[in-house]
Amino acid sequence: MAKVKMKTNRGAAKRFRVTKSGKLSRSKAGANHILTKKTSKRKRSLRKETVASQADKKVLRKLLPYS
């Protein structure tokens, strides 16, 4: 009988990407609405991606088994 494959969590797959060094990159929160009160500098910073916390890495690896 065939071994059962794990399913990738599709919500996590859309939000996180694995970098070449094995870290998980994510986009920053707060860039979608209520932008008028935010400064241009802050909005520019929100466009950039950042690295996910090392504390969340164990959980994210379970959600993204084949990445």
Helix (H, G, I), strand (E, B) or coil at 13: helix
The residue extents of the domains of the chain are: 10-26+38-63
Cβ neighbours for 53, distance < 8 A, ≥ 6 positions apart: none
Q: What is the mean pLDDT of the chain?
A: 94
Task: Tell me the pLDDT tens digit for each residue of 15-46.
Answer: 999 999 999 999 999 999 999 999 999 999 99
Residues 6+ apart with CB under 8 A from 46: 28, 30, 31, 38
